[in-house]
Amino acid sequence: MSNSGSTSNELSKALDNHLNLVAAQQPNWPDQTALTHARETLAGLPPIVMAAEIETLKLRLASASQGKAFLLQGGDCAETFADATEERIRARVKTLLQMAVVLTYGASMPIIKMGRMAGQFAKPRTSDTETRDGLTLPAYRGDAVNGYDFNLESRTPDANRLVQAYNTSVASLNEIRTLTLGGYADLRLVQEWNQGFVKNPSNARYELMAKDIDKAIRFMAACGADFSELTTTEFYTSHEGLLFDYERPLTRIDEATGSIYDTSGHFIWIGERTRQIDGAHVDFFSRVKNPIGVKLGPDTKAANVVALAEKLDPNREPGRLTFISRMGASKIRDVLPQIIEGAKKAGITALWVTDPMHGNGITTKNGYKSRQFDDVMNEVQGFFEVHRELGTHPGGVHVELTGDDVTECLGGSEQIDEKTLESRYESLCDPRLNHTQSLELAFLVAEELAAR
């Protein structure tokens, strides 16, 4: 992976058209010297992920787009430097592994495990500023840009944070690799954790499926299955590719193939707020080889999706393009079918994934940004219904979750109510499903998958 000397000119020629275009949602860095220094530092550091891994992921996603695998993508809305601890990362990986086992059983297909992890440090915001008690400061744009504390020093964008985002991503990915390659992903261990979940009387509804999974594992053992093969697993990273001052210096030429990859993560997505067809983000990501995602809100038209696919995936490369719809439970059944049909007519081969979080936001009476678990599930069910009716493949779920027992989303088997939100609301951005709610979602999605 190279980005120095003559390759640096080559990269500029291939990539830098975005500089002539409108780049939405970029911070106003006050210190240009610090910014230049940060960009140069990043450009000199090793890639975070490798081209070969990125290409393997593309194969996996291609298989999901053909209905032969299913994507589980989850993690924080906004990762923070403070929460990049061994314990918290482990809890998130554990939650995703637990969900994946349940989904594998429900789908009878491989589950592609992907974290919104090791890079999800930048956030688009509706407003550039935030006002509290008459004081107006820059909005929090994620730990890669500024601090969450509400004072001028903390909220002023600081380009050194870009380098800290890189270092934290590397450390996080190292922890993820250690866990998923070092025995933590052992199928039997993960199943044991899930037994713990269903032992809780409020989750008894899922006991039957957990027992079935247990039986299946014992059956495999009796048949002489090699469980040593099942102690490790592939695990991919993803984040919103938002900040050019981060993504651009980490974009490199792979010497073996001459192809260009954004090495900040395996899978990069373009957010609902930055997917303008003539905007800088779409242009930039049209020029890298990574598998990429595009979020689609409820106002999306089939024509938008066709135009995005023409630009981002003109060759209809299997696994290259994923559309992540986030319509809201009340809209998905009306809006998604025409989009999928339009895409089908245009020969688009994208993977369809549901994000049941971002269209279902509410603000509670006591002032918390939250989501109802039932709305989240309703949108997932709508997603499956739409695909069932159209005869297309429901390819995956994209959720905001954490492995901790936070209280940010309402409902679920623990019946979290508005008052309970006050006890452990930790997200600096959108509300996440907690550990229990995440597993519950997995069991419910597994039922949908089994019923396909």
Per CB under 6 A, residues contacting ligand PEP are 77, 124, 240, 271-273, 295, 326, 358, 430
Identity of the residue, 24 or 216, whose beta carbon is nearer to ligand PEP in the bound complex: 24
Q: From its phi and psi, is residue 67 left (phi > 0), alpha (psi between -120 and 50) or beta?
A: left
Residue 84 neighbours by CB under 8 Å, 6+ apart: 168, 171, 172
Whose CA is closest to 202, among 442, 435, 436?
A: 436
Query: 272 contacts which partner out of ligand PEP, Mn ion, none, CB within 5 to 8 A by kind?
Result: ligand PEP
What type of residue sits at position 2?
S
Residue number with the smallest Cβ distance to ligand PEP: 271
Identity of the residue, 62 or 77, whose beta carbon is nearer to Mn ion in the bound complex: 77
In Å, what is the CA distance from 419 to each residue of 210, 335, 365, 407? 32, 34, 10, 10
Query: 271 contacts which partner out of ligand PEP, Mn ion, none, CB within 5 to 8 A by kind?
Result: ligand PEP
Beta carbon of residue 116, minimum distance to ligand PEP (angstroms, whole number) = 7
Residue 323 neighbours by CB under 8 Å, 6+ apart: 293, 294, 296, 305, 339, 343, 350, 351, 352, 353
Tell me which DSSP letter residue 17 carries: G
Taking CB under 5 A as the binding criterion, the range among 104-112, 142-150, 167-175, 426-434 that sits at the site for Mn ion is: 426-434
Identity of the residue, 175 or 272, whose beta carbon is nearer to ligand PEP in the bound complex: 272
Query: 326 contacts which partner out of Mn ion, ligand PEP, none, CB within 5 to 8 A by kind?
Result: ligand PEP
Beta carbon of residue 104, minimum distance to ligand PEP (angstroms, whole number) = 25
Query: From CA 111, how far away is CA 419, in angstroms rounded?
Result: 36
Residue 77 interacts with Mn ion (CB under 5 A): yes or no: yes
Identity of the residue, 240 or 379, whose beta carbon is nearer to ligand PEP in the bound complex: 240
Whose CA is closest to 274, among 241, 312, 313?
A: 241
Residue 272 interacts with Mn ion (CB under 5 A): yes or no: no
Angle (CA) 402 403 407, round 5°: 65
Identity of the residue, 403 or 431, whose beta carbon is nearer to ligand PEP in the bound complex: 431
Helix axes 332-345, 373-390, angle to 10 degrees: 40
Query: From CA 367, how far away is CA 359, in angstroms rounded?
Result: 18
Identity of the residue, 203 or 322, whose beta carbon is nearer to ligand PEP in the bound complex: 322
Beta carbon of residue 146, minimum distance to Mn ion (angstroms, whole number) = 17
Residue 430 interacts with Mn ion (CB under 5 A): yes or no: yes
Taking CB under 5 A as the binding criterion, the range among 5-13, 71-79, 260-268, 437-445 that sits at the site for Mn ion is: 71-79
Binding site for Mn ion (CB under 5 A): 77, 430
